[in-house]
Homo-oligomer: A and B are copies of this chain.
Amino acid sequence: MITHTVAFKLKHPAGSAAEQLFLAKGSRLAEIAGVENFRCLRQISPKNPYDFNFSMQFADQTAYAHYNQHPDHQSFVKDIWLKEVADFLEADFIEI
Q: A residues within 8 Å of B by Cβ? A: 2-4, 7, 23, 39-45, 47-48, 50, 52-53, 55, 89-96
Minimum Cβ distance to chain B for residue A14 (Å)? 12
With the chains together, A40 CA to B39 CA distance in Å? Answer: 20
Question: How far apart sit A68 and B47, CA to CA, in the bound complex (Å)?
Answer: 14
28 A-B residue pairs with CB within 8 Å: A2-B44, A4-B45, A7-B91, A23-B96, A39-B95, A40-B96, A41-B93, A41-B94, A41-B95, A41-B96, A42-B93, A42-B94, A43-B91, A43-B92, A43-B93, A44-B92, A44-B94, A45-B91, A45-B92, A47-B89, A47-B90, A48-B89, A48-B90, A48-B92, A50-B91, A52-B96, A53-B91, A55-B93
Chain B residues near A43 (CB, 8 Å)? 91-93
In the assembled complex, which residues on chain B have CB atoms less than 8 Å from the CB atom of A96? 23, 40-42, 52
> Which residue on chain B has the smallest CB distance to residue A45?
B92
